[in-house]
């Protein structure tokens, strides 16, 4: 099979990014077939939220999604790579367990999430009130590492659910994936938004630009999606996203309208206002309710998933706002000028 | 007998609800949940339609996307 290996590599997969430290350099070398995996001790010493660990972990996880151009797809299950991935996961998850303040129960966590501030200070508020097109382009580029995978890692939880929780989770996923219509898959709607903003729409193009806090948000959902032991936290994570999405999307839809970003850009967030108002109800009552009926001992995990999601989203929001308020780009490298898009 | 429970729930052993019965979830607070596709006729005679698997109908009348819920019913702090 090895003589055919090049043919197996997906040429449409994204390119490998540049390394951001010793850990990511080691993982990338292994992915290129150029070296042994980095030692697990590097993971134990790394900043759990920093660029080096987050990029290395992101690259390990990407093998489970679309892979990278020129990288052997069999590395997805390479024991040596999985060993270093596990060390990074332990570092990241250990930090979250220590740093995230958790609510007492699901009810109190939901109650806080659904209470809207009259005036907020996060990125969606800034974008609504005073964001310029350059801010919206940066925001969309760094969010693309998330939205172009939208609902993908949540599908991994399906075999681990049963009864009401499973049926409801599938309904929401069906809606996320366009209700059977390719042109309405939410990840596709986001690609259309990117086109309106003059961004490249190919999967993974902006990984290179994305700062650690944006990667951490994606790594959390991959981590929770891939581990059956963390299924309660995955459900909690999904609930937190759906509960907070609708009001945030409303602000972003207003931002798109005010700046004249384009019809697809408006439509993406308008669709999320409506869709996520439904998903929120279904996830809270049917998915969480159904899961805890079957497995009541998972409540602490559900709460952890919700609170860890908010914790990492807040870190990303703080990063973005600190950069913009200082007049710097929030991305690691500047975006090229808008590309002209045909259709 | 509109309140006969046998008319609201499927008989044991049947795999699905009767085709003509559509269950609507009406919470004390928050939107009314209806299985789609739905058409909603508004006061001015216009019809809003959605083919989503389920829709959340605004009951607080605060929604800017009426008749669909946009979570405007939420408490603010």
- At residue A7, the pLDDT reads 45
- At residue B22, the pLDDT reads 86
Q: ∠A81-A34-A21 over CA atoms, to 5°? A: 70
Q: Average pLDDT of A277-292?
A: 96
Contacts of B52 in chain A (CB under 8 A): 175, 179, 274-275, 278
Q: Which residue of A has its CA nearest to B57?
A: A278
Alpha-carbon distance A47 to A291, whole Å?
A: 34
Q: Which residue of A has its CA nearest to B75?
A: A115
pLDDT at B6 over 50: no
Higher pLDDT, B62 or B77: B62
Q: How far apart are the first and last CA of chain B?
A: 46
Boundaries of every domain in chain A: 2-98, 105-325
Tens digits of residue pLDDT in A75-93: 999 999 999 999 999 999 9
ipTM: 0.83
Boundaries of every domain in chain B: 30-77
Contacts of A174 in chain B (CB under 8 A): 53
pLDDT at B4 over 70: no
Alpha-carbon distance A321 to B41, whole Å?
A: 43
Q: Which residue of B has its CA nearest to A179?
A: B52
Q: Give the range among A15-19, B25-29, B32-36 with minimum mean pLDDT.
A: B25-29
Listed residue (A65, A197, A202, A189) closest to A139, CA to CA: A197
Q: A105-325 domain in CATH 1.25.40.20?
A: no
Q: How many Å separate Cα A74 from the centre of its chain?
A: 24
Partner residue opposite B53 with nearest CB, options A117, A118, A179: A179
Alpha-carbon distance A167 to A282, whole Å?
A: 10
Average predicted confidence (pLDDT) for chain A: 94
Q: Average pLDDT of A305-322?
A: 97
HEC string for A8-71: HCCCCCCCCCCCCCHHHHHHHHHHCCCCCCCCHHHHHHCCCCCHHHHHHHHHHHHCCCCCCCCC
Mutate to test the interface with B, among A271, A273, A280 (most CBs of B within 10 A): A273
Contacts of A274 in chain B (CB under 8 A): 50, 52, 56, 65, 68-70
Whether A179 sits inside 8 A of B51 (CB atoms) is yes
Tens digits of residue pLDDT in A318-339: 999 999 999 999 999 999 888 7
In angstroms, the Cα distances linking A106 to A110, A113, A157 are 6, 11, 19
B34 contacts B28 by C-beta, under 8 angstroms? no
Contacts of B77 in chain A (CB under 8 A): 115-118
Whether A277 sits inside 8 A of B31 (CB atoms) is yes
Whether B76 sits inside 8 A of A250 (CB atoms) is no
Residues 105-144 of A with CB under 8 A from B: 114-118
- At residue A112, the pLDDT reads 94
């Amino acid at each position: 099979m090895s003589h055919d290996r090049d043919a197996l590599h997906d040429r449409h997969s994204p390119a490998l990014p540049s390394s951001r430290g010793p850990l990511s350099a080691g993982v990338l070398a292994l992915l290129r077939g150029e070296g042994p995996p980095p030692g697990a001790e590097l993971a134990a010493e790394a900043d759990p939220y920093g660029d080096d660990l987050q990029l290395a972990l992101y690259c390990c996880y990407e093998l489970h999604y679309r892979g990278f151009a020129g990288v052997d797809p069999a590395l997805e299950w390479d024991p040596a790579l999985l060993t270093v991935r596990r060390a990074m996961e332990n570092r990241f998850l250990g930090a979250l367990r220590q740093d995230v303040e958790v609510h007492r129960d699901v009810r109190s966590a939901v109650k806080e999430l659904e209470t809207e501030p009259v005036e907020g200070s996060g990125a969606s508020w800034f974008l609504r009130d005073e964001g310029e097109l350059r801010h919206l382009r940066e925001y969309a580029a760094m969010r693309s590492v998330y939205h172009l995978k939208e609902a993908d890692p949540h599908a991994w939880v399906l075999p681990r659910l049963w009864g009401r929780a499973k049926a409801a989770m599938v309904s929401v996923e069906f809606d996320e994936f366009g209700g059977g219509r390719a042109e309405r898959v939410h990840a596709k709607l986001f690609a259309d938004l990117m086109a309106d903003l003059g961004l490249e729409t190919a999967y993974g193009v902006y990984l290179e630009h994305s700062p650690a806090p944006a990667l951490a948000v994606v790594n959390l959902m991959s981590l929770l999606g891939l581990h059956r032991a963390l299924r309660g936290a995955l459900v909690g994570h999904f609930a937190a996203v759906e509960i907070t999405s609708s009001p945030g999307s409303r602000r972003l839809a207003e931002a798109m309208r005010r700046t004249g970003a384009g019809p697809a850009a408006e439509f993406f967030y308008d669709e999320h206002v409506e869709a996520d108002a439904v998903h929120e109800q279904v996830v809270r009552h049917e998915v969480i309710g159904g899961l805890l009926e079957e497995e009541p001992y998972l409540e602490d995990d559900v709460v952890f998933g919700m609170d860890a999601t908010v914790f990492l989203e807040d870190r990303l929001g703080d990063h973005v706002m600190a950069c913009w308020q200082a007049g710097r780009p929030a991305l690691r490298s500047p975006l090229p000028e808008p590309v002209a898009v045909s259709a | 007998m509109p309140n006969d429970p046998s008319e609201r729930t499927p008989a044991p052993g049947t795999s699905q609800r009767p085709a003509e019965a559509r269950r609507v979830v009406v919470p004390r607070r928050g939107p009314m949940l209806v299985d789609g596709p739905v058409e909603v006729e508004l006061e001015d005679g216009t019809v809003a339609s959605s083919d989503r698997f389920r829709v959340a109908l605004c009951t607080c009348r605060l929604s800017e996307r009426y008749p669909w819920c946009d979570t405007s019913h939420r408490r603010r702090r």
